[in-house]
Amino acid sequence: MTTPLSFVHRFEPATDPTRKPLLLLHGTGGDENDLIPLGRMVAPGAALISPRGQVLEGGMPRFFRRLAEGVFDEDDVRRRADDLAAFIAEARGAYGLEAPVALGFSNGANIAAALLYRHPGVLAGAALIRAMVPLSTDKPASQPATPVLIVSGTMDPIIPAANAATLAASLAAAGASVQHETLPTGHGLVQSDVTLTRDWLDRI
């Protein structure tokens, strides 16, 4: 079912046309297959579009370059977010999709946040699991009522709590409808992420 587009990707068509499509964005070292099981769990029957990040770090795919742990190459973030926005437009045309809801983990959550900052309207919403501020000097574009879920971990060694709180506040100030949840966990995915995301998707 996959059509050649600007990103290597995987596509699963919807079996429940009432559900919004999901854009699945993997973390460092993942690929287009990584979050397919998560997408099926949180949105059964939704169309799934899952691109592979185009940057390699030590052979591991990512969606943008970083200078160190938690320090982003922000010029590259902007460029890669623009490329991803163009891919979403391609995929919508190729597969007949409405605007998707992003579901991103870690690096994937950060590129989804960058899309919210730079390309309002490209996403119908975003679930950002272990996300941080993607662009320290930019303000998010206006996005009235865009639903956003941010799920942080109190013991996350990579993302300071204040950074995640700043991301939530900046998106809310831009008009997004933000739900920020903090779990007693580290950086990895846990069952509570699945439950929170599934319940949030059912409401939006």
Average pLDDT rounded to a whole number, residues 168-178? 97
Q: Which is the catalytic residue, given 50, 106, 152, 170?
A: 106
φ and ψ at residue 186, rounded to 5 degrees: -95, -140
Quick one: what percent of the chain has pLDDT higher than 70?
100
In what helix (H) or strand (E) does residue 104 lie, and over which residues does it extend? strand 101-105
CA dist list (Å): 166 to 46, 91, 105, 171: 31, 31, 18, 9
Q: Read off the pLDDT of residues 6-20 as tens digits, 9 standing for 90 and up.
A: 999 999 999 999 999
Mean predicted confidence (pLDDT) in 47-59: 97
Q: Is 187 a catalytic residue?
A: yes
Domain 9-203 is in which class?
alpha beta
Matching residue, tokens 């919210």: 116
- Hey, what amino acid is at 182? T
pLDDT of residue 74: 97
Q: Is 106 a catalytic residue?
A: yes
Q: For this structure, is 136 an active site residue? A: no
pLDDT in tens, 129-144: 999 999 999 999 999 9
pLDDT over 90, % of the chain:
97
Of 50, 119, 156, 170, which one is the catalytic site residue? 156
- Write out pLDDT tens, residues 83-100: 999 999 999 999 999 999
What's the rounded mean pLDDT across residues 117-124?
96
